[in-house]
Amino acid sequence: NAGVMQNPRHLVRRRGQEARLRCSPMKGHSHVYWYRQLPEEGLKFMVYLQKENIIDESGMPKERFSAEFPKEGPSILRIQQVVRGDSAAYFCASSRGALTYEQYFGPGTRLTVT
């Protein structure tokens, strides 16, 4: 049973480009969460999705960031017109149910904006 998969593991983008981060949840999990982690900091919640629905995006910046979790395929976190401050590790987690269930994390995507 494969764990949570994220790709790419490392992504380098120039300022102004778009970044697309992918997350495939564990088999049987329909709840996906995205977090951002800056160096030496804890994880900050960004968005919570259930298949085809955004449940809570209160942690997402209002502009340039979007997320989706289509019926088929991975969840995508999209950052348009990246800036240096977007450089961080982005982790996705999945769970079988809502927040009373354990979240399993992927290995993360490390985004570097040059």
Partner 1 sequence: GESVGLHLPTLSVQEGDNSIINCAYSNSASDYFIWYKQESGKGPQFIIDIRSNMDKRQGQRVTVLLNKTVKHLSLQIAATQPGDSAVYFCAENSGTGNQFYFGTGTSLTVIP
Q: Examine residue 104 and tell whether it contacts partner 1 (CB under 8 A).
A: yes
Gap between the Cα atoms of 90 and 113, Å rounded: 13
Helix (H, G, I), strand (E, B) or coil at 85: helix
- Give least dist CB 57 to partner 1, A: 10
Which of the stretches 14-22, 53-61, 65-73, 75-83 binds partner 1 when contact is defined by CB under 8 A?
53-61
- Using alpha carbons, list the distances in angstroms from residue 20 to 10, 39, 41, 77, 80: 11, 21, 23, 6, 9
- Give least dist CB 34 to partner 1, A: 11
Contact 90, 108 (CB under 8 A): yes
Q: Examine residue 65 and tell whether it contacts partner 1 (CB under 8 A).
A: no
In the complex with partner 1, the residue whose CB is nearer, 14 or 84, is: 84
Strands 88-95 and 31-37: antiparallel
* Site size for partner 1 (CB under 8 A): 27
Which of the stretches 11-19, 32-40, 61-69, 80-88 binds partner 1 when contact is defined by CB under 8 A?
32-40
- Give least dist CB 31 to partner 1, A: 10
In the complex with partner 1, the residue whose CB is nearer, 42 or 71, is: 42
Gap between the Cα atoms of 8 and 37, Å rounded: 16
